[in-house]
Amino acid sequence: MPEVNLLGIIAGTAVSFVSGFLWFGPATFYSTWWRLMGKGPKDVPGGGMNMGIAFGSVLVGQILQVTVLALILSALDITAPLDGALVGLLIGVGIVGGSSLSHRIFAGHGFGVLLIEAGNDIVNLGLAGALLVALR
């Protein structure tokens, strides 16, 4: 049975959360992403949802991603952080990018939204993969 390190999951989740905060920050991709989503200055992120619930949902999703990545890295017996990052990046491109492609295109959001959203997930999985192996 694959083993996971709780510290690695916490660290990987924290790095993913901070990375997402920076990725979608006002000095980076937020304005472009928001515009490409068809939103304007008067639109509210989360559609007016309680932001605690919105960010809590993001956190749960990141915990799930990092935990599954930890199980995969353990099952593959990955021991080098660079290899952990590579596995994370490949999962990001192949699974996240692949599924996001159909979701974003059918939703009418286009390739720009896909690249911004999936790009963050791919980076997060790469960073988390390296951390999970380094902290094992």
In a domain, 1, yes or no: no
In a domain, 108, yes or no: yes
The count of domains in the chain is 1
pLDDT tens, position by position, 115-131? 999 999 999 999 999 99
pLDDT tens, position by position, 66-85? 999 999 999 999 999 999 99
In a domain, 102, yes or no: yes
Give me the domain span that covers residue 32: 6-134
In a domain, 74, yes or no: yes
Question: What one-character-per-residue DSSP string does 36-105 give?
Answer: HTT--TTS-GGGG--HHHHHHHHHHHHHHHHHHHHHHHHHTT--SHHHHHHHHHHHIIIIIIHHHHHHHH
Could you tell me the pTM of the whole model?
A: 0.91
What's the mean pLDDT in 51-65?
93
